[in-house]
Amino acid sequence: MIPTSTTKRLTAAVLIILALVLLFTHQGRNPLHFDEAIYAQVSKEMVERNEWFTPHWNGRLWFHKSPIYFWTTALLFKLFGVSEFWARFASAVSGLGVMLLSYLIARRLYNATAGLLAVVILLSSQLFIFYARFGGTDTMLTLWILLAVYAYVRSESDERFWLLAGAACALALMVKGAAGVVAPGVLFIASLLDRRFPAILRSRWLWLGVALAAVISLPWHLVMYWQYGDAFMSSYLSQHVINRATSNIDAHNRGYGFYFSILRDYFSPWAYIVPFGLIFSRRPRSFVVVVLGLMVFVLYTLVKTKFQWYILPAIPAFAIIIGGFVARLFENRQRVAIASLALIVLWCVATVGVIRLIRTYDPEIESAARLARLSGADQGGIVAYPEHLETTVHFYSGRKLCTDPVLSRLSHNESSECEPAEPAHIIMRTTERPKVENRFAINPLREDGPLTYASIARR
């Protein structure tokens, strides 16, 4: 049984409202932490320094990522002020875009029902909702990769879409550097499997798309290399591409089964349906979403450094595949009641996890943000311990972050090095005071929850 057009429009309206609620509710409530505090600080320093072309963090050059996400957030800060809501806004809007593109791609490859189901699955995916609400680069990266995929699908009937594909690939590169290479890689492999590659090479629109990609992506990279030379290449390429691929820069040793566990824990119960979708769904008009899902999953399984957000671009692809599989079940009148009931049960189970995720907060991060704001009037550098508090403390204090090579083994680097007498205060976990006293003499000034703000002097 195929839903009527009225039912589809009503469903789409409900999904849009639900998406707005899930992605934007309470976005200004919880303090920024971890990478989102870094990215917000980079954007804030662009505005404060009036230096928009060259990223800085903690007052020093910062070439960890390409600048499009920071430019977007800095512009929002300039227009509306610095806040948690605007720090996360670009990611949340990208999440809306990902859902729209997932619908459009699934509709092209399968049908409109598959598109609606793909959106339903994304809305109940903890991994997708968390990172769409998180002020990071990965949801925007996923948006541009999916736009490239959509343009590839449309290019079969209109070659001019290669211009859009080229722009999308360039924007993916400008969001997260080498990670954006996934986009053209997916299109290349898909064109071979779809037996379109020879015809595509003969299209002048493809080469115009390649030229447009170069116009978008090359200027910033060339200017940075011209201005900073090996310093730019060492940080941008060697440290944050080659080192991540060939060695583990994280403290955790994660094996080849890591992303299976991520899908099990944060894309459940849908993860268990992906194999059935790959095997039993009707063959799509293109293999491009299958290539996207499997390529991202396999590629980052092989990369030595593993973080759960690396496979975010695979989630919409898997959602589209599952949507196509379930839509096929709906075509059989005898199966539609069972399939509908199973879908409702699975969606309710998954949505409970999403709601629980949105409602969670970290009391240490809350305390760190409050103490950091209070410390803003004081002078000198500031230390945070343990390490996961550092980016929050730096963003909310507005003071130079000083990382100690013993206390902050992972985060200590040239961007946070200070002179021996420069650190003046610390925000630390109260129970960790004996460890910190091995490095500093401590004078407690204020306590907030599990944390203490204190003046310090190096021993």
Model pLDDT, residue 1? 45
Q: Is 334 exposed, middle or buried (0-12, 13-18, 19+ CB in 10 A)?
A: exposed
State the pLDDT at residue 362.
Answer: 87
Torsion from C-alpha of 416, 421, 423, 428, nearest 10 degrees: 110
Question: Residue 446: phi, psi to the nearest 5?
Answer: -160, 145
pLDDT for res 133: 95
SS3 238: helix
Q: Which two tokens stand for residue 173?
A: 């590169």
Spell out the per-residue pLDDT of the chain, length 459, in tens: 445 667 777 888 888 998 999 999 888 889 999 999 999 999 999 999 999 999 999 989 999 899 999 999 999 999 999 999 999 999 999 999 999 999 999 999 999 989 999 999 999 999 999 999 999 999 999 999 999 999 999 999 999 999 999 999 999 999 998 889 999 999 999 999 999 999 999 999 999 999 999 999 999 999 999 999 988 888 887 776 766 666 666 656 788 899 999 999 899 889 999 998 888 777 888 999 999 999 999 999 998 888 889 999 999 999 999 999 988 877 766 666 766 777 788 778 788 878 777 777 789 999 999 999 999 999 999 999 999 999 999 999 999 999 988 888 878 887 788 888 888 999 999 999 999 998 899 999 999 999 999 999 988
Cross-strand pairs, 442: 456
* CA quadruple 359, 35, 434, 374: dihedral sign: negative
Return the pLDDT at 245. Answer: 60
Token look-up 């849009």 returns 16
Give 103: exposed, middle or buried? Use CB within 10 Å, 0-12, 13-18, 19+: buried
> At 315, is the secondary structure helix, strand, or coil?
helix
> In the chain, what is the straight-line distance between the N-terminal and C-terminal CA atoms, in Å?
75
Q: Residue 170 and residue 10: Cα distance in Å, rounded?
A: 36
Nearest to 272 by CA among 281, 280, 263: 263
The C-alpha angle with vertex 34 and arms to 32 and 37, in degrees rounded to 5, equals: 45
**What is the 8-class DSSP label of residue 82?**
S
Q: Is the bond preceding 434 in cis, omega lying within 30 degrees of 0?
A: no
Phi and psi at 203, nearest 5°, equal -80, 125
User: How far is the C-alpha of 70 from the C-alpha of 54, rounded, in Å?
Assistant: 10
Question: Taking the CA atoms of the chain, what radius of gyration do you get in angstroms?
Answer: 24
Question: Cβ of 102: how many Cβ atoms within 10 Å?
Answer: 30
Q: Decide if 353 contacts 268 (C-beta within 8 A).
A: yes
At residue 246, the pLDDT reads 63
pTM above 0.85, yes or no: yes
Show me where the domains of the chain are located.
Answer: 5-359, 363-458
